[in-house]
Structure 1
Amino acid sequence: MRILVTGGAGFIGSALVRHLIRNSGDELLVLDALTYAGTLTALAPVAADPRYRFVRADVRDGAAVAGAIRDFRPDIITHLAAESHVDRSIDGPAAFIDTNVTGTFTLLEAACAYWRGLPLPARAIFRFHHISTDEVFGSLGETGRFTEATAYDPRSPYSASKAASDHLVSAWGHTYGLPVIVTNCSNNYGPYHFPEKMIPLMIVKALAGETLPVYGRGENVRDWLFVEDHVRALQAVFERGTPGRRYNIGGDAERRNIDVVRTLCALLDRLHPRADGASYAAQIGFVADRPGHDRRYAIDATRIRTELGWTPQESFESGLEKTVRWYLANEPWWRPILSERATDQRRGLAGSLSPIFNAL
C-alpha cells in the first residue's frame, strides 16, 4: 500500500515508518513540519530506502497538504502530526489549538476531497487513521479502565485539543462518509523519544548527575506502552480495522511515576553504575506538581486484542531495559537535541518554577 504519515519525524511517527519499511512492502511518504520535537535523525535508518519519501510541510498548510496527497495518491493516511506535551500546552495553549484542531481540520478537508475523487475500488480501500491519546478521557479513580465508550473529559489544553480533533474526525466520518478510524493510546516510551518526556528525561539527567524531578509525590499512575508494540497495533488497525470503529491501545502496565523512576535507577545501577558506587535513586527529588495533573490513566484494550489479534510483545520491564540500553548506546543522537533545544527547562507552571524538595 501507499501510506502517508503526518508527523512522521516525531517519536511515534518515526517508529511507525521504521517498522513499516522493515516489515512490509509499503511505500511511505512522511509529511512533517520539523518543529522542536521532530527530527530527521529519527528517520536516518530508513532514509536511503527507495520506498521512503519525505516532504517538509505543515498540516495547517492546505495547499501543501493537498498537493502532497494529490502527488502521492495514498491508500492510507495515518495522522500523527500534533503538539503533544502537556506542560507546553499549559504555558502556551494557542499552538495546540492551531496544530491539533486547525491542522486536523485542514487535513480532513484535503483527504475528503481526494477520497471523493477516487475510483470506486480505491475508495473502498482508503482509510483515514487518526492517532490520539487516552488523556482525552480525563482522570480515573483507583479502579476502572478507559474503554472505547468512555465519555470524554479532557483536563489540560493538550488533551482538550486532541479531544476536539477526535470529534472532528468522527464528524467527517458520520457527515461525509469518510472511512475514518480513531485509536487512543496510553503513554508510549522507547528509542528516539524526545528527551523532555519523562522516561528519557530521567535517563539523561541521571547520566548527567542531576536531580531527577518527580512531580508531586510521584503517585500519579500511567499505563505504559512500548512504542514498537504501539506501531504494530497501528498497522493492524489501518490494515484490518473497521471504518467508523475506535480502538484503544494500552500496554496493560500501570505504574506510579515514582516506581517508574526507581525502576530506571535500578536498571542504570546495573547497566551503567555511578563512579562513586551510589545508586542513581539518590538523585531523586520532588517538584511542585503541574496544574490539573490527572491522577490515573488505564486502558482496556480488549477490542483490539479480540477483533484484530494484537497483543503487546514487551512487558514494562523488558521494554524499559531496551529503552535504557538504547539511550546508553546512542548518546550521539540525544546529546545534540539537549544542546540545541533546551529540553531541561521546567514547563507547566506558566513560568513559575518551584524548587526541588525532599530529595531521596
Structure 2
Amino acid sequence: MIFVTGGAGFIGSNFVLDWLAQNDEPVVNFDKLTYAGNMNNLASVRQDPRHIFVQGDIGNTAQVAALLAQHKPRAIVHFAAESHVDRSIHGPAAFVETNVNGTFGLLEASRAYWNALPDDEKAAFRFLHVSTDEVYGTLGPNDAPFTETTQYAPNSPYSASKAASDHLVRSYHHTYGLPTLTTNCSNNYGSYHFPEKLIPLIITNARAGKPLPIYGDGQQVRDWLYVSDHCAAIRRVLEAGKPGEVYNVGGWNEKANLDVVHTLCDILDELDPKAGGSYRDQITYVTDRPGHDRRYAIDARKIERELGWKPVETFDTGIRKTIQWYLANQEWVKDVQSGDYLKWVEKNYEQRQNPVETK
C-alpha cells in the first residue's frame, strides 16, 4: 500500500493511473479536491478496489495520522500543492497554507507514524516529495542547466513556497532521520492538464476561436517533460533512490514558449483544421507576468547515472499524444471549464488585454 497526496490533480492522477496499470499494489489517494482536483481524471479506476479515495487536507494532521494508522502504507508520495504562478501572484496566502503549512503537517503525521513502525518496516519506509525546478530561480541563455546542488533562488510566491517545503523535507531527514526523497521536475505536459497552464490553454482557446495569449515576447524557455515520463521517474526514485537525496527530473527538451505555441498550432492545423486560415492567426501578445523567469533547464544526468532513468518521449512525440488526447476528450475539457475557471481566466488576463509590441 502506498499513500498519495494530491492524486486527483494533473500529475498526481497520472501517477495513480500509471501505478495501477503497472502493478497490483493498492493506493490510498488523499486529495482536498480544490479547483484543480478532478475526480473525472480517475473515472477509469472508480470501481477498482485497489484505488481508495479519501477527501481531506494534508494540513489536517489528525486526519492524516488516522489514515496512516488505518492503511499502514510503506511509502508516501506527496504531490499535493498549489502550483500556478499566476494564481500565487494574485493570492499568495493559499500557497503558503498548502505548500508550506500543509507539507509541515504531513511531515509531522508521517514522522509519528514512521517512528512507531517495527524496525524492518521503518527501514523500508519512504517519504517522496515532488517539487519543481522553479525553486532554483532563472537562468541566462548560456547558463548551465540546474543541478541538484544549484543554489535556491525562487522568484515567485509559488516557487518560494515550494522552496520552503523542500527545506522542511530536507530538515526532517537530517534532524529526525525520516527517509525522505525529493524530486525537482521541469514543466510537465500531457493528459488531464488543467487548462490554466500554457499547453492546454492554447489547445482549448485555439479550438474555441479565442486569442492565444503570449506573455511578453514569448521567448521564455522551459524544459518540457511528458507527464508519463515524470511518473516513471518517480516510481524509479521510490524504488531505488537513496534516502536524503534529491533527483532532478527533466525532459531534455528546452523550448521557447512561442515555439511551443507555434508547434501546437501547426499540429492542430493538421489534425483539426479550421476554416479560413491557421490557428497561428489567433496568437496575441499580452503584458508579461510580473517577475517572469526567463529560462529553466534541468540537468537530469544524476537520475540517469544512479537510477537508470531517462525520458522515453521527445517533445514532438509527447506533444502530439497530448493534442490527440484533448481532441478525443472534449467532454472532460467542457467539464473542467466551470464558471469558477472562467472567472479566473478573466481576472488573470483583464490586466493584459492590450497587445504589446514585440521585436
TM, length-normalised to structure 1 = 0.97
Q: Distance in 1 between matches of 2:348 and 2:339?
A: 20
Residue type of the partner of 2:323? V
Q: Distance in 2 between matches of 1:346 and 1:233?
A: 36
Q: Distance in 2 between matches of 1:101 and 1:208?
A: 37
Displacement after TM superposition at 1:346 (Å): 4.9
Deviation track 1:69-123 (CA, whole Å, cap 9, x = no partner) reads 1111110100000000000000000000000000000000000000000001100
Whether 1:194 aligns to 2:188 is no
Where does 1:299-318 land on structure 2 (aligned, <5 Å)?
A: 299-318=298-317
Displacement after TM superposition at 1:68 (Å): 1.3
Q: Distance in 1 between matches of 2:94 and 2:2?
A: 27
Q: Distance in 1 between matches of 2:22 and 2:325?
A: 21
Change (3 A) 1:259 1:347: farther
Where does 1:244-323 land on structure 2 (aligned, <5 Å)?
A: 244-276=244-276, 278-323=277-322
Number of residues of Structure 1 aligned to a counterpart in Structure 2: 357
Percent identical among aligned pairs is: 55
Aligned with 1:291: secondary structure? coil
Q: Distance in 2 between matches of 1:359 and 1:271?
A: 29
Residue 22 of structure 1: aligned partner: 21
Residue 355 of structure 1: aligned partner: 354
Residue 337 of structure 1: aligned partner: 336
Displacement after TM superposition at 1:199 (Å): 0.2
Residue type of the partner of 1:257? N
Residue type of the partner of 1:155? N
Q: Distance in 2 between matches of 1:175 and 1:347?
A: 43
Whether 1:116 aligns to 2:111 is no
Change (3 A) 1:275 1:261: same
Change (3 A) 1:346 1:298: farther
Deviation track 1:249-283 (CA, whole Å, cap 9, x = no partner) reads 0000000000000000000000000022x110011
Q: Distance in 2 between matches of 1:299 and 1:132?
A: 13
Displacement after TM superposition at 1:62 (Å): 1.4
Residue 63 of structure 1: aligned partner: 62
RMSD: 1.4
The answer to whether the Cα contact below 8 Å between 2:132 and 2:183 also exists between their aligned partners in 1 is yes
Deviates more, 1:51-60 or 1:62-71: 62-71
Displacement after TM superposition at 1:132 (Å): 0.1
Residue type of the partner of 1:232? A
The answer to whether the Cα contact below 8 Å between 1:16 and 1:231 also exists between their aligned partners in 2 is yes
Residue type of the partner of 1:241? G
Displacement after TM superposition at 1:341 (Å): 3.0
**Structure 1 runs not aligned, ≥5 long:** none
Q: Distance in 1 between matches of 2:108 and 2:138?
A: 32
Displacement after TM superposition at 1:348 (Å): 5.6
Where does 1:159-174 land on structure 2 (aligned, <5 Å)?
A: 159-174=159-174
Residue type of the partner of 2:174? H
Deviation track 1:148-173 (CA, whole Å, cap 9, x = no partner) reads 00000000000000000000000000
Residue 39 of structure 1: aligned partner: 38
Residue type of the partner of 2:223? D
Residue 154 of structure 2: aligned partner: 154
Displacement after TM superposition at 1:65 (Å): 1.1
Displacement after TM superposition at 1:339 (Å): 3.0
Q: Distance in 2 between matches of 1:348 and 1:223?
A: 24
Residue 87 of structure 2: aligned partner: 88
Deviation track 1:168-198 (CA, whole Å, cap 9, x = no partner) reads 0000000000000000000000000001111
The answer to whether the Cα contact below 8 Å between 1:87 and 1:347 also exists between their aligned partners in 2 is no
Q: Distance in 2 between matches of 1:48 and 1:240?
A: 31
Q: Distance in 2 between matches of 1:184 and 1:89?
A: 19
Residue type of the partner of 1:238? L
Displacement after TM superposition at 1:337 (Å): 1.2
Aligned with 1:311: secondary structure? coil
Residue type of the partner of 1:327? Y
Residue type of the partner of 2:250? G
**Structure 2 runs not aligned, ≥5 long:** none
Q: Distance in 2 between matches of 1:346 and 1:83?
A: 19
The answer to whether the Cα contact below 8 Å between 2:216 and 2:358 also exists between their aligned partners in 1 is no
The answer to whether the Cα contact below 8 Å between 2:216 and 2:356 also exists between their aligned partners in 1 is no
The answer to whether the Cα contact below 8 Å between 1:188 and 1:227 also exists between their aligned partners in 2 is yes
Displacement after TM superposition at 1:358 (Å): 5.5
The answer to whether the Cα contact below 8 Å between 2:95 and 2:158 also exists between their aligned partners in 1 is yes
TM, length-normalised to structure 2 = 0.97
Residue type of the partner of 2:41? A
Displacement after TM superposition at 1:32 (Å): 0.2
Q: Distance in 2 between matches of 1:15 and 1:105?
A: 25
Residue 240 of structure 1: aligned partner: 240
Where does 1:67-146 land on structure 2 (aligned, <5 Å)?
A: 67-143=66-142, 144-146=144-146
Where does 1:211-230 land on structure 2 (aligned, <5 Å)?
A: 211-230=211-230
Deviation track 1:22-49 (CA, whole Å, cap 9, x = no partner) reads 0112110000000000011111111221
